[in-house]
Chain A
Amino acid sequence: MDLLSILPIINKYLDQFFGTQVPEEYVSYLKEGEEFIPYFLGGAALMILIMIFLIIRVSRKRSVHKGAKKTPLSEKAAEKQLAQLEKAHLKRQKEEDQQRKKAEAKKNEARLAKLEEEEKRLQEELAKKEEERRKSQILQKELPSQEDAPAEPVNFIDRLKKGMEKTRNNLVGGISNLVLGKKEIDEELLDDLEELLITADIGPETTERILSAITEKFKREDLKDPGILHEMVQTEIVRIMGKNYPAPTTEEKHPLVYLFVGVNGVGKTTTIGKIAAQFKAEGKKVLIGAGDTFRAAAIEQLAEWSQRAECDIFAKDAGSDPSSVMYETVQKAINENYDVVICDTAGRLQTKKNLMEELKKMIRVMGKLIPDAPHETYLVLDATTGQNAIFQVRDFREIAELTGLIITKLDGTAKGGVVIGIVNEFDIPVRYIGVGETVGDLRPFNAQEFTQSLFA
């Protein structure tokens, strides 16, 4: 724990808002590495307070707006109210009410006027800015830069669309087209390579790493031939992705317990259906645990899959505690001598603390029956997901010991390149890929194939 590094931040806020800083004595506690440093909490709590003030301010502002908007309506309501009051002969109350309303209206009017004034001022400013902008645009048009050849569409969107076509051509042609006809490795070629890697969702950081490794090598070995580039990039990626980790077998673990986790909509249930069918085809006795008790009809969906795969399912009612489903599934598997147990879980965003805790509990209760269960925990990733996949792995890894990744939806145009950075950083192997709707479309991962498809 390193609270010292966060100290400047707290100080900055304390200073901004209260003109004070964390007292020296507490700083020295921190420096001595004391474990319990409550002052830090004070700083955090103060920030919360600041937010509360903001909320009050914001909601007050909102109510002013509401008041302004609903004037005709509230007048109507007031009339109605007044009539009622007359009926009840509560004249005094009525007078008071009117007075209060008048004062309020006056106040609102004043506020409104102020707001209007402000708006007017802002509009004027905006008009001024707009004019300036137009002027600068005219200037730009008059002085076309070398980059902006007159033939190129000026419109941003046209430019983009034109670019998109180029991207697609690039991707279709792949990396070999990239180097075709090139005599040497130049800026442009590297630019195109960067685009190729980025559009495969490899991410700017990993892309930069790959590119700089390559340029380094080229410089050092004084290579000139762009043809080698192709090979080098692929070799590098295969090297990262090709790590091999043995998976436990039913001979070693019996029953072998699988747990599937992931965010919403990545295809956990579908993948489970396919994997169950594959195990079944291998002659294994398979039990599926319907751990998604939250999403509407998730249990029905899994039941349908279990029917197709001709294997058993353990399910409870929708809304029941998923941990109890897990426990009873594993219990049943032990009692009835199943070979493989596959547990489904509800999709959860990695930022939902409660749901992540729920997952933790599910794993804990399984461990009560079989100490090292779940033996395999797979995080299912959607190939269309971008850089957020890194966060998903990072956060799920904190809750569950991930033993493998499954990439689904690779049959589209998305490449799932983000896993390269993930495998590199977290050292978790990709176990399967999903490339279609049928059972056979869930395939064991092959680094060579995957790499080729990145550039296909």
Chain B
Amino acid sequence: MFENLSQKLTDSFKKLQGRGRLNEENITTALNEVKMALLEADVNFRVVKAFLKSVKARAIGEELQGSLSPGQQFIKIVNDELAQMMGESNVSLVSAEKPPTIIMLVGLQGSGKTSSIGKLAKFCQSSGDRPYLIPADIYRPAAIDQLIVLANTLGLPFYPSSTQQDPVDIVKAGLAEAAIQGSNYVLIDTAGRLHIDDVLMEELERIKTAVNPHEIFFVADAMTGQDAVNMAKSFNDRLDVSGIILTKMDGDARGGAALSIRAITQKPIKFITVGEKLENLEPFYPDRVASRILGMGDLVGLIEKAQSNISEKKARELEDKIRKNEFTLEDFQAQLRSMRQMGSLKDLMGMLPGMDASMMKNTDVDEKQLVRTDAIISSMTAQERQNHHLINGSRRARIAKGSGSHVRDVNRLLKQFAQMRKMMNKLSKTSNPRKAMQMMQNLMPH
């Protein structure tokens, strides 16, 4: 459904050869492509319009540089403008002059407030702070229990709220208790509510007046659509939030809501959450989300995926092996396995910058092939895996039988493996990862 924006932009500039200037006429199609990409990414319609206006203003009259194609140059403008709009990166938590620092999380139902509290608590804890948790969601069944379970997992003190209490009383009492405990961070979980629910929004205002939090985070789901602006605006108008936490960024939502919310509130996005584990809270980097919104490959995401599945030590060992031409079938198998853990081949390749997504569109990669290859290698003895030259005719027959395949499959695998080794040797002769890195960067949109 989403085709690669860079390819489309390149196409739309095909007519524009050589030197010249970008003008109203020759960027119309390109602007339209950007518009579609942003709308597909759920950026609010008004925000898109305003954004396109500023891109247009900046692009018109821009002289074409020889080193970049007009498409690339245009992408750079779009990317820069987007990153700039996203604001400063990695604004850290404030800490109150007089502890404890009080942090309150607000948002709609299901945006991930309670989970984010757990993650924030872990974040504080791992930088040596002592957080105290106050569950003030008296409405959703078992919401208080949920926070208490998280507090117990982290070994943190919490206020034992009851659903009979008023949230304002809970928060006040909790704060007093936190002072006794000597905690320097207090994290308040509030009930999810619709921004148009006047009664509950007023409740938040009362909590705010009662305890004067140093930070109020608006927790928003990265998958949110056009309505993100309305929610963010209402919450910000009534509570003057200090920052935003974007949750569920580990999905494949392009996260256009980030841009909408940022544009309408002008408040920094401070954290994103990227998983269900307590340590899955990360600082926000605008440039990364910018290229994600534009759908232009996510190299950083790819590297992170690789990093979480392949340890650095293993990678270095592998590098050594390739250099010495000692890459074995066993290594090959290990790699295929970690690749499978990282996701489908199609998804992985889609993350590579410079990929033409339209080519990927109709490609239905049969992941079973990976399983079969794995099976063939598993049917070899340890010795055979270490040294594939050992594998003669009778061994081949045995391996084929063991893996439920044909001898010709085994043959082909071995042949291919030899080819691959050859190629890797070539790589080790270039032996310059910097060059590979350079190439990778050239493939990036800017």
Check A50 against B440 for contact (C-beta < 8 Å).
yes
Given contacts A23-B419, A38-B413, A45-B339, contact A350 B252 (CB under 8 A): yes
Out of B256, B263, B436, B437, which one reaches A160, CB within 8 Å?
Answer: B263
Q: Which residues of B contact A411 (CB under 8 A)?
A: 194
- Is A384 a contact of B339 with CB atoms below 8 Å? no
User: Does A390 touch B at the CB level, under 8 Å?
Assistant: yes
Any B CB within 8 A of the CB of A264: yes
Give the segment of A52-60, A84-92, A227-235, A251-259 that binds chain B.
Answer: A52-60
Residues of A within 8 A of B424 (CB): 46, 49
0/1 string, A54-79, CB within 8 A of B gives 1 = 11111100000000000000000000
Contacts of B341 in A (CB 8 A): 353
> Which of B35-94 touch A at CB < 8 Å?
35-36, 39-42, 44-47, 49-50, 53-54, 57-58, 61
Asked if A157 and B263 make an inter-chain contact with CB atoms under 8 angstroms apart, the answer reads yes
Judge if B390 is at the interface, Cβ distance under 8 Å: no
**A38 and B416 within 8 A (CB):** yes
Cβ contact within 8 Å between A384 and B50: no
Min C-beta distance of A317 to chain B, whole Å: 12
> Which among A20, A38, A296 is the interface contact of B412 at CB below 8 angstroms?
A38
Contact indicator A160/B264 (Cβ below 8 Å) = yes
Q: CA A140 – CA B57 in complex, angstroms?
A: 8
Of the candidates B42, B223, B373, B433, the one whose C-beta lies within 8 Å of that of A53 is B433
Contact B112 A264 (CB under 8 A): yes
Chain B contacts of A14 at CB under 8 A?
Answer: 423
Q: How far is the CA of A451 from the CA of B196 in the complex (A)?
A: 21
Q: Find out whether the CB atom of A201 lies under 8 angstroms from the CB atom of B226.
A: yes
Contact (Cβ within 8 A) B141 A205: no
- In the complex, chain B residues whose CB is within 8 Å of the CB of A385: 221, 223-225
B360 and A413 contact, CB distance less than 8 A: no
Output the least CB separation between A36 and chain B (Å).
5
Q: Is B23's beta carbon under 8 Å from chain A?
A: no
B127 within 8 A of A: no
Question: Would A297 and B345 count as touching, CB distance under 8 A?
Answer: no
Contact call A265/B112, Cβ cutoff below 8 A: yes
Report chain B residues within 8 Å CB of A438: none
Nearest B residue to A349 via CB reads B251
Given contacts A37-B369, A53-B437, A201-B225, contact A163 B49 (CB under 8 A): yes
| Docked-complex contact B110 and A264, CB < 8 angstroms | yes
Determine if B338 is an interface residue (Cβ-Cβ < 8 Å): yes
A1-15 toward B: CB 8 Å interface, digit per residue (1/0)? 111011011001110
Q: Are A16 and B224 in contact (CB under 8 A)?
A: no
Whether B257 sits at the interface, judged by CB under 8 Å, is: yes
- Check A412–B196 contact: CB distance below 8 A: yes
Within A294-351, the residues touching B (CB, 8 Å) are 294-298, 300-301, 303-305, 318, 349-351
The answer to whether A388 touches B253, judged by C-beta atoms less than 8 angstroms apart, is: yes
Q: Is there a chain B Cβ closer than 8 Å to A133's Cβ?
A: yes
Q: Bound complex: CA of A222 vs CA of B225, how far in Å?
A: 36
Q: Does A136 contact B (CB under 8 A)?
A: yes
> Is there a chain B Cβ closer than 8 Å to A275's Cβ?
no
Known: A8-B359, A49-B318, A160-B46. A296 touches B145 (CB 8 A): yes
Query: Which listed residue (B227, B423, B433) contacts A415, Cβ 8 A?
Result: B227
Write the nearest CB–CB distance from A456 to chain B, whole angstroms.
Answer: 14
Contact across chains for A41 and B416 when beta carbons are under 8 A apart:
yes
Which residues of the other chain, A, contact B352 by a CB distance below 8 angstroms? 13, 47
Cα(A349)–Cα(B303), bound, Å: 20
Q: What residues on A are CB-neighbors of B54 within 8 Å?
A: 156
Known contacts being A16-B443, A264-B110, is A1 close to B150, with CB within 8 Å? no
Kindly identify which residue among B44, B50, B362 contacts A199, using a CB–CB cutoff of 8 Å: B44
Tally of A-B residue pairs with Cβ under 8 A?
A: 305
Residues on B with C-beta less than 8 A from A304 are 141-142
B382 to chain A, nearest CB (A): 21
User: Smallest Cβ distance from A175 to chain B, in angstroms?
Assistant: 15
On whether the beta carbons of A52 and B310 are closer than 8 Å, the reply is yes
Contact digits for A202-215, partner B, Cβ 8 Å, 1 yes 0 no: 01110000000000
A164 on the B face (CB < 8 A): yes
Q: Is A239 an interface residue (CB 8 A)?
A: no
Number of interface residues of A (CB under 8 A): 101
**How close is B355's CB to chain A, nearest CB, in angstroms?**
6
Q: Are A195 and B45 within 8 A (Cβ)?
A: yes
B39–A46 touching, CB < 8 Å: no
Option from B49, B110, B316, B423 in Cβ contact (under 8 Å) with A20: B423
Instruction: Please name the residue on chain A nearest to B406 by beta carbon.
Output: A36
Q: Is the CB of B140 within 8 A of A388?
A: no
Closest to A13 in B: B352
Contact between A203 and B39, CB atoms less than 8 A apart? yes
Report the minimum CB–CB distance from A26 to chain B (whole Å).
Answer: 8
B427: Cβ under 8 A from any A Cβ? yes
CB pair B306–A41 under 8 Å, yes or no, is no
Q: A282 to B153, alpha carbons, bound, how many Å?
A: 41
- If A56-B315, A301-B140 touch, whether A384 touches B231 (CB-CB below 8 Å) is yes
Known interface pairs A12-B354, A39-B419, A53-B436. Does A18 touch B142 (Cβ–Cβ under 8 Å)?
no
Whether the pair B423, A18 counts as a contact (CB closer than 8 A) is yes
Q: Give complex CA distance A301, B163 in Å.
A: 13
In Å, the complex CA distance between A266 and B248 comes to 12
CB distance from B233 to the nearest CB of A (A): 7
Contact with A along B130-149 (1 / 0, CB 8 A): 00000000011111011111
The contact sample of 19 A-B pairs, CB cut-off 8 A, is: A41-B369, A46-B424, A48-B335, A164-B233, A168-B230, A198-B39, A198-B226, A204-B36, A265-B112, A296-B114, A298-B146, A305-B141, A350-B252, A384-B231, A386-B225, A387-B225, A388-B251, A412-B194, A413-B231
Nearest first, the 3 A-B pairs at minimum CB distance are A386-B225, A265-B110, A386-B42
Additional pairs, 20, CB under 8 Å, beyond known A20-B426, A50-B436, A297-B143: A8-B356, A9-B355, A46-B423, A49-B322, A57-B437, A133-B58, A156-B54, A157-B266, A164-B229, A166-B46, A264-B115, A265-B111, A267-B109, A273-B141, A296-B145, A297-B145, A300-B142, A387-B42, A388-B251, A391-B252
